[in-house]
């Protein structure tokens, strides 16, 4: 990758992180959270945001010690070539699997809501081709695209806010009726939807700004996502009866706007889904990018684009495996601990190691 | 980005093996001693072409030959500027006369080149030098308003086929010593003259270097028109979007030059290429600046609405009719159903037939003389449109959709962009007929990400939208009042971004004095 | 090369077919669904589909409607039978009305609605209604001024909504209320009258998912006012005088312009009591006796008393039928969760003590005195 060409500004960083975080989970998040934490789900979401902020600080701390190394360079630097390469490969695989899960969930929702008879692999191929095209252009173009499509989030916000006219605010009362552990369990569900900020580990050397500004952008993105999610969860909690109804609807946000009709169009959910597709594409593109980049940094070959079709093919095969909801659960259960390992534990250990070994990148080095 | 780097790299390799014909033209050839040798040299050089005239000149002590191309030189000028002064002057004055009005040179190859430009060459007997004078025949079209870029108000000047006239128009409009012209030649066998025009104090030097580098790397036998040049130097040819703006309007070029962009003229072409350019510049018209800013903004945002309609409307219609008719409100469902109930074709075929018909009508009408063109328009538009509905082949609503789309597409002020838009909608229509709204969403995504990766000479094509520059939106979707334009747009990468400080200083005079 | 391959691939995808295409021109739209139980305990489904007549010169086609019905064990089976009869696929995505006959409504309305929530193509904007007698009979009326039954009934419902006789609810907004143990729904109650037309006869009160009883239009309006759900107009006609000979002079008609509702729920020793205060600002629309300003105090007082009595009567009816349209249970859950835990989840509403007070305030009386 040519370094001078692939630069992003810290403003673009905000949107990149936001787009990476908000993904396929947005539709089902209120349902997942409400299943556990009932009407206190929105508190869980807030807490999840706070937890991810802590992780963000760890990640940032690590990145600041190596201002021009991405994680794929930090790993061999700190742990030696063999372990480094092994971990790079594991990261790559982890991103592949996560990407596949997102892909599978996307195609599941498309299958249920819009295109029930279209074979799933076709909708998957469609989004993978789009994502490959987005990603293959290099970091700067990716960043531009992410910024360009971000207004969609506000559009989604407006659509959801409109449905609040039929909300019943009594549904979220009494606040805090569940004990802390239930709410924290809810946070766990919400935290999975917050994932994506690990993108920072990899792109921070390409951000043209000081370390402080990077943290600012990073935090801004996280706060935005937390508020956005909390609003979505809150909106569906006050719209649906929290014990029975929301448990029956796996995609509450779609349900909420399905009934609304405006002067010239009805069935707003179809438009919502079309917009949501773009949000999903950005997050799948993200996993694709990180995974292909990881594979590329394993070998000598510097171009990650060559690996994109490979990763996409892998994603496709893996995403075709689950075809029942039970499979998704198994998939999720398998991924649960790996998330902790790759997002929290490894960066934390690396940070400790670099402090203990007092290994730091020499500032003069480019 | 990858594509640009490919384009940069390729020419460098090619530079080494320079084309032989180019080198040949640089060889020096001295003037022969005898007139006969010189005569035969020219005859040989032009393969005895019949329009090569070699007149012997014998006036008093002067004897020599006068060489010119009958087809390029103006005989009246020769009579008036060369023969008459020589005849009237006496012996001593002839030398001075020759020195003052003629250019001198010793290279016969240069003479050969100059003859092609309409120069008359005078070779005196026994002289190692020759004299030349520009007597080019000019049969220029008068300066008039270009047909395809008309405005309601404002300047009605347009470029013509003569390079010098065009440059004159620019110089006349920008009276500053900072305006710099550079002449370049391109083409291996037949050379075309290019002229690079920019404001020395504004234009980005790297951009100019980049442009020259690309021109250097172009290796082609000859450049017949700007379309060739555009495709040879633009960043990515695999794109329906034009990445270089060409215009025949003087005021448009002047405006862009003042924003720090570079204009390129080609001899014999009335179009001027402007670089670097963004997507949004194709939607601007000089009219926007000459009307009130509120109205200008309204008209401009209408054009952006029109591109959305032109690209999406048929696709959305197909998706609705074929996939998701539940999005139609109740009041619309029954009228639409009653109109499409008995149509034999699926919506995609229906739409394709009508869209292609409109394209055909356009294509048929465009090259015909205007009177027949009108007839074609009436036959095509009214007769076919009406008959096809009566025959029950195409539905009424489809005609409405296609007509709105056509009107929207032609309201884009630049024809290249309008073509791109009309092309893109076919792709979206195909996607919509297979996947409904999902297809449209993906198609739009692909188009947007394509726009995000395009660059025009190092400037992001979709700026100020991606990358986002809030300040530059002042002159993109809308047009704010002129006094808001204190900085030059980012995309031209101008070296001096400040344009004005207080455009309406008179408003603040009172305050300042205090 | 890569580009060519992907283009080729794309072409393959595009040419293989349009799996999910279902063309609008082939669709047979259902505008009303009606559910009944027939005498032999079988299920009776009725549908009304629009018939479009070719425009005979004018630009707009004339839309008529036709009704089909079939018996079956489940709604799906009946639907299959009807589809066979009309040789086409019934499409319920633009369905606007779902009507239940009394017979089926007293059992349970939820099972028939399940399919509507489950299928993504179905419209959640449909209105529910309960019909006195058989619902399918209502589809067979032939109104004179409107050839399409669906539009006719919809117009009737819209006008009833504007007049605050029925609430503005769709199947979507009802879903949560229906599933909420602390709230019951009320639905429009329709009737086919002798003159072959449909009439909204007030509200059908539901106990959980079962039809329990009904309210007259005027009581319905009062109930909706107590729910703080005023439509465009809320009109009442009351007798305020006795002395006039010609009876029409004894009555007053007024429209509620502003409404203020105060609802307070209190728990004392496990006993739930509710204070419901309505403050109505009304506009006199008809009062042949005239001279309102002089009698304004008397009228205010009398109307307040009368409406308070009516309100108490309505609440008593609701409590008898165990229908809780105010969502008192939900309020208990929200503000007094502990009390709610102890209460009987089914019959809690019967034991709530209501104190209702309606205050009427005449603020205008048209352009004459």
How many folded domains does chain C comprise? 2
- Residue B155 DSSP SS3: coil
Q: Does A168 touch chain C (CB under 8 A)?
A: yes
Contact B466 A5 (CB under 8 A): no
Closest-approach residue (CA) in chain B for C50: B334
**pLDDT given at position B4:** 42
Residue A122: exposure state from Cβ atoms within 10 A (0-12, 13-18, ≥19):
middle
Write the pLDDT tens digit of every residue in A148-190. Answer: 999 889 988 988 888 888 888 888 777 777 788 888 888 888 8
C244 and C144 fall within a common domain: no
C173 and C246 fall within a common domain: no
Contact C24 B343 (CB under 8 A): no
- Residue A222 DSSP SS3: helix
**DSSP class of residue B382?**
I
Q: Does A265 touch chain C (CB under 8 A)?
A: no
Query: Which residue, C157, C192, C215, sits at the end of a domain?
Result: C215
Q: Does C327 touch chain A (CB under 8 A)?
A: yes
Contact C20 A118 (CB under 8 A): yes
Pairing of strands C210-215, C198-207: antiparallel
Query: Which residue, C162, C188, C215, sits at the end of a domain?
Result: C215
Q: What is the mean pLDDT of chain C?
A: 83
**DSSP class of residue B31?**
P
**pLDDT given at position A133:** 92
Q: What is the mean pLDDT of chain A?
A: 85
| C172 vs A contacts (CB less than 8 Å) | 255, 258-259
Contact A259 C180 (CB under 8 A): no
Minimum distance, in Å, between the CA of residue A352 and any CA atom of chain C: 45
| A125 vs C contacts (CB less than 8 Å) | 9, 13
Contact B467 A9 (CB under 8 A): yes
C181 and C255 fall within a common domain: no
| B435 vs C contacts (CB less than 8 Å) | 20
Tell me how far apart the alpha carbons of residues A308 and A230 are, in angstroms, rounded to a whole number.
Answer: 34
C145 and C284 fall within a common domain: no
Closest-approach residue (CA) in chain C for A251: C120
Window 51-90 of C: residues touching B by CB (8 A cutoff) are: 52, 55, 60-61, 63
Minimum distance, in Å, between the CA of residue C58 and any CA atom of chain A: 24
Q: Which pLDDT band, with edges at 50, 70 and 90, does A363 fall under?
A: low
Q: Does B335 touch chain C (CB under 8 A)?
A: yes
Nearest to A122 among C13, C117, C180 (CB): C13
| B436 vs C contacts (CB less than 8 Å) | 20-21
Residue C267 sits in a domain whose CATH number is 3.30.300.210
Window 230-249 of C: residues touching B by CB (8 A cutoff) are: none
Minimum distance, in Å, between the CA of residue A264 and any CA atom of chain B: 6
Nearest to C334 among A118, A174, A245 (CB): A174
Nearest to C334 among A114, A116, A170 (CB): A170
Q: Which residue has the higher pLDDT, A196 or B89?
A: A196
Mutate to test the interface with C, among A107, A119, A173 (most CBs of C within 10 A): A173
C193 and C230 fall within a common domain: no
Tell me how far apart the alpha carbons of residues B253 and A146 are, in angstroms, rounded to a whole number.
Answer: 33
Contact pairs from chain A to chain C, CB under 8 Å: 70
Minimum distance, in Å, between the CA of residue A346 and any CA atom of chain C: 37
Write the pLDDT tens digit of every residue in A5-36. Answer: 678 888 888 999 999 888 888 888 888 888 88
C101 and C190 fall within a common domain: yes
**pLDDT given at position B508:** 73
Nearest to B441 among A148, A263, A277 (CB): A277
Mutate to test the interface with C, among A128, A177, A245 (most CBs of C within 10 A): A245
Window 114-173 of C: residues touching A by CB (8 A cutoff) are: 117, 120, 123-125, 170-173
**A3-356, CATH topology level:** Amino acid/polyamine transporter I (1.20.1740)
| B441 vs A contacts (CB less than 8 Å) | 274-275, 277-278
B197 phi and psi, to 5 degrees?
-120, 130
Nearest to C52 among B321, B323, B338 (CB): B338
Contact B433 C52 (CB under 8 A): no
Contact A148 B440 (CB under 8 A): no
Residues of chain B with pLDDT under 50: 1-25, 513-514
Write the pLDDT tens digit of every residue in C221-240. Answer: 888 888 888 888 888 888 88
What's the CA angle centered on B88, arms B85 and B91, to 5 degrees? 100
Ranked by mean pLDDT, which of A128-137, A293-302, A323-332, B368-377 comes out on top? A128-137
Residue C134: is its pLDDT beyond 60?
yes
Sheet holding B62-69, edge to edge: B52-59, B62-69, B119-124, B130-134, B103-105
Q: Does C10 touch chain A (CB under 8 A)?
A: yes
Average pLDDT of C318-341? 85
Q: Where are the alpha helices (DSSP H) in chain A?
A: 10-21, 25-37, 41-65, 71-79, 81-113, 120-135, 139-149, 151-163, 180-194, 199-203, 211-239, 245-248, 252-258, 268-298, 308-320, 325-339, 346-356
Average pLDDT of C128-139? 87
Q: Could you tell me if residue C264 is left (phi over 0), alpha (psi between -120 and 50 degrees) or otherwise beta? A: beta
C267 and C356 fall within a common domain: yes
Q: What is the DSSP string of C15-64?
A: HH--TT---GGG-EE--EEEEEE-TTS-EEEEEEEEEEEPPSSSSSPEEE
What is the CB-side half-sphere exposure of residue A79 using CA atoms within 13 A? Answer: 19
**pLDDT given at position B317:** 93
C57 and C192 fall within a common domain: yes
Minimum distance, in Å, between the CA of residue A23 and any CA atom of chain C: 22
Q: What is the DSSP string of C249-310?
A: GGEEEEEEEEEEEEEEEEEETTEEEEEEEEEEEEEEEE-TT--HHHHHHHHHHHHHHHHHHH
Q: Does C176 touch chain A (CB under 8 A)?
A: yes
Contact B449 A137 (CB under 8 A): yes
Q: Is residue C323 part of a domain?
A: yes
Listed residue (A241, A108, A101, A236) closest to A171, CA to CA: A241
**pLDDT given at position C9:** 61
Tell me how far apart the alpha carbons of residues B222 and B267 are, in angstroms, rounded to a whole number.
Answer: 12
Closest-approach residue (CA) in chain B for C28: B337
C240 and C327 fall within a common domain: yes
The interface pTM score, or ipTM, of the predicted complex is 0.91
Tell me how far apart the alpha carbons of residues C48 and C68 are, in angstroms, rounded to a whole number.
Answer: 6
C363 and C238 fall within a common domain: yes
Do B204 and B491 meet the contact criterion of CB atoms below 8 Å apart? Answer: no
Contact C125 A240 (CB under 8 A): no
Q: Is residue C21 part of a domain?
A: no
**pLDDT given at position B23:** 43
Mutate to test the interface with B, among C25, C29, C56, C96 (most CBs of B within 10 A): C25
**pLDDT given at position C366:** 82
Contact A265 B449 (CB under 8 A): no
Calculate the alpha carbon distances from A57 to A203, A214, A216, A290, C309 in Å: 16, 11, 11, 21, 66
Write the pLDDT tens digit of every residue in A35-82. Answer: 888 888 888 899 999 989 999 998 888 888 888 888 888 888 888 888
**pLDDT given at position C3:** 62
- Residue C89 DSSP SS3: coil
C159 and C198 fall within a common domain: yes
């Amino acid at each position: 990758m040519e370094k001078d060409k692939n630069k992003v500004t810290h403003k673009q960083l905000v949107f990149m992180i936001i787009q990476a975080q908000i993904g396929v989970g947005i539709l089902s998040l209120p349902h997942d959270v409400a299943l556990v934490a009932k009407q206190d789900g929105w508190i869980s979401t807030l807490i999840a945001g706070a937890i991810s902020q802590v992780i963000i600080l760890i990640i940032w701390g690590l990145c600041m010690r190596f201002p021009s190394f991405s994680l794929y360079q930090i790993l061999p630097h700190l742990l030696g070539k063999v372990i480094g390469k092994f971990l790079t490969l594991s990261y790559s695989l982890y991103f592949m699997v996560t990407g596949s899960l997102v892909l599978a969930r996307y195609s599941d929702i498309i299958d249920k809501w819009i295109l029930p008879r279209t074979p799933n692999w076709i909708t998957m191929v469609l989004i993978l081709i789009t994502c490959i095209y987005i990603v293959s252009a290099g970091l700067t173009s990716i960043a531009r695209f992410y910024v360009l499509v971000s207004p969609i989030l506000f559009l989604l916000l407006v659509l959801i806010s409109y449905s609040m006219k039929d909300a019943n605010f009594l549904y979220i009362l009494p606040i805090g009726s569940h004990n802390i552990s239930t709410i924290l369990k809810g946070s766990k569900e919400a935290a999975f939807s917050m994932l994506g900020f690990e993108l920072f580990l990899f792109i921070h050397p390409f951000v043209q700004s000081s370390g402080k500004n990077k943290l600012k952008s990073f935090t801004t993105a996280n706060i935005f996502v937390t508020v956005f999610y909390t609003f979505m969860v809150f909106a569906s909690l006050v719209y649906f009866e929290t014990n029975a109804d929301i448990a029956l609807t796996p995609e509450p946000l779609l349900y909420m706007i399905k009934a609304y009709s405006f002067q010239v169009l009805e069935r707003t959910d179809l438009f919502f889904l079309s917009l949501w597709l773009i949000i999903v594409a950005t997050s799948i593109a993200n996993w694709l990018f990180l995974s292909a980049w990881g594979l590329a940094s394993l070998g000598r070959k510097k171009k990650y684009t060559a690996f994109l079709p490979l990763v996409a093919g892998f994603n496709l095969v893996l995403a075709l495996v689950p075809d029942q909801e039970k499979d998704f659960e198994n998939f999720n259960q398998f991924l649960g601990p790996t998330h902790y390992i790759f997002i929290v534990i490894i960066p934390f250990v690396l940070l400790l190691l670099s402090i203990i070994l007092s290994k730091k990148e020499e500032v003069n080095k480019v | 980005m990858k594509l640009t780097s490919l384009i940069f790299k390729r020419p460098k390799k090619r530079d080494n093996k320079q084309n032989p014909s180019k080198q040949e033209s640089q060889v020096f050839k001295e003037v022969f001693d005898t007139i006969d040798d010189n005569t035969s040299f020219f005859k040989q050089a032009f393969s005895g072409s019949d329009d090569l005239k070699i007149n012997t000149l014998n006036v008093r002590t002067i004897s020599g030959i006068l060489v010119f191309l009958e087809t390029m030189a103006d005989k009246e000028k020769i009579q008036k500027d060369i023969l008459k002064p020589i005849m009237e002057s006496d012996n001593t004055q002839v030398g001075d006369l020759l020195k003052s009005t003629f250019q001198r040179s010793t290279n016969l190859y240069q003479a050969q080149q100059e003859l092609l430009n309409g120069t008359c060459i005078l070779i005196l007997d026994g002289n190692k030098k020759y004299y030349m004078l520009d007597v080019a025949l000019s049969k220029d079209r008068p300066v008039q308003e270009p047909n395809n870029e008309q405005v309601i108000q404002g300047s009605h000047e347009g470029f013509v086929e003569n390079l010098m006239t065009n440059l004159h128009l620019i110089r006349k409009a920008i009276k500053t010593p900072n305006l710099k012209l550079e002449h370049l030649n391109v083409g291996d066998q037949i050379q075309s003259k290019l002229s690079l025009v920019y404001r020395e104090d504004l234009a980005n030097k790297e951009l100019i270097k980049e442009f020259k580098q690309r021109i250097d790397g172009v290796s082609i036998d000859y450049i017949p028109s700007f379309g060739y040049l555009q495709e040879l130097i633009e960043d990515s040819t695999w794109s329906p979007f034009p990445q270089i703006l060409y215009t025949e309007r003087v005021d448009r070029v002047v405006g862009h030059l003042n924003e720090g962009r570079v204009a390129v003229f080609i001899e014999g072409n009335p179009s001027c290429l402007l670089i670097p350019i963004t997507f949004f510049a194709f939607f601007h018209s000089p009219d926007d600046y000459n009307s009130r800013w509120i109205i200008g903004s309204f008209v401009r945002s209408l054009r952006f609405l029109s591109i959305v309609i032109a690209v999406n409307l048929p696709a959305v219609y197909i998706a609705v009719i074929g996939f998701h008719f539940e999005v139609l409100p109740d009041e619309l469902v029954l009228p639409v159903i009653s109109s499409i109930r008995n149509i034999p074709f699926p919506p995609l075929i229906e739409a394709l037939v009508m869209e292609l018909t409109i394209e055909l009508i356009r294509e048929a009408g465009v090259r015909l003389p205007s009177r027949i063109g009108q007839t074609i328009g009436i036959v095509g538009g009214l007769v076919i449109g009406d008959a096809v509905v009566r025959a029950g082949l195409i539905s009424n609503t489809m005609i409405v959709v296609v007509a709105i789309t056509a009107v929207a597409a032609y309201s884009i002020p630049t024809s290249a962009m309008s073509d791109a838009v009309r092309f893109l909608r076919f792709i979206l229509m195909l996607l919509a007929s297979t996947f409904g709204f999902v297809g449209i969403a993906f198609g739009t995504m692909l188009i947007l990400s394509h726009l995000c990766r395009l660059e025009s000479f190092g400037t992001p094509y979709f700026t100020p939208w991606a990358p986002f520059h809030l300040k530059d939106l002042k002159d993109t979707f809308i047009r704010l009042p002129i006094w808001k334009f204190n900085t030059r747009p980012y995309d031209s990468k101008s070296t001096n971004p400040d344009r004005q400080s207080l455009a309406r200083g008179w408003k603040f005079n009172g305050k300042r004095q205090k | 090369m890569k580009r060519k391959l992907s283009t080729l691939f794309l072409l393959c995808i595009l040419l293989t077919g349009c799996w999910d295409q279902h063309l609008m021109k082939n669709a047979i739209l259902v505008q009303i669904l009606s559910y009944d139980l027939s005498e032999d305990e079988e299920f009776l489904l009725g549908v009304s589909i629009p018939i479009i007549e070719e425009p005979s010169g004018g630009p707009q086609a004339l839309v008529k409607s036709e009704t089909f019905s079939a018996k079956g064990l489940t709604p799906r089976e009946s639907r299959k039978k009807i589809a066979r009869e009309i040789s086409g696929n019934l499409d319920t995505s633009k369905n606007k009305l779902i009507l239940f006959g009394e017979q089926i409504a007293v059992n349970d309305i939820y099972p028939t609605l399940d399919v509507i929530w489950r299928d993504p193509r179905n419209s959640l904007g449909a209105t529910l209604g309960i019909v006195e007698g058989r619902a399918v009979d209502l589809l067979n009326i032939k109104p004179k001024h409107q050839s399409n039954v669906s539009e006719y009934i919809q117009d009737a419902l819209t006008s009833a909504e504007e007049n605050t006789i029925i609430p503005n609810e769709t199947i979507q907004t009802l879903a949560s209320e229906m599933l909420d143990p602390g709230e019951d729904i009320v639905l429009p109650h329709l009737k086919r009258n002798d003159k072959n037309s449909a009439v909204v006869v007030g509200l059908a009160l539901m106990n959980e998912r079962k039809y329990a009883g009904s309210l007259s239009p005027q009581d319905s309006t009062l109930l909706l006012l107590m729910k703080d759900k005023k439509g465009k107009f809320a009109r009442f006609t009351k007798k305020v005088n006795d002395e006039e000979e010609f009876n029409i002079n004894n009555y007053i008609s007024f429209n509620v312009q502003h409404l203020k509702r105060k609802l307070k729920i209190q728990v004392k020793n496990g006993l739930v009591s509710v204070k419901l205060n309505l403050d109505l600002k009304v506009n006199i629309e008809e009062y042949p006796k005239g001279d309102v300003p002089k009698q304004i105090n008397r009228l205010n007082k009398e109307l307040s008393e009368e409406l308070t009595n009516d309100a108490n009567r309505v609440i008593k009816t609701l409590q008898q039928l165990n229908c809780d349209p105010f969502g008192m249970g939900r309020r208990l859950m929200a503000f007094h969760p502990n009390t709610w835990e102890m209460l009987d989840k089914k019959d809690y509403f019967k034991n709530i003590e209501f104190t209702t007070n309606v205050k009427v305030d005449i603020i205008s009386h048209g352009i004459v005195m």
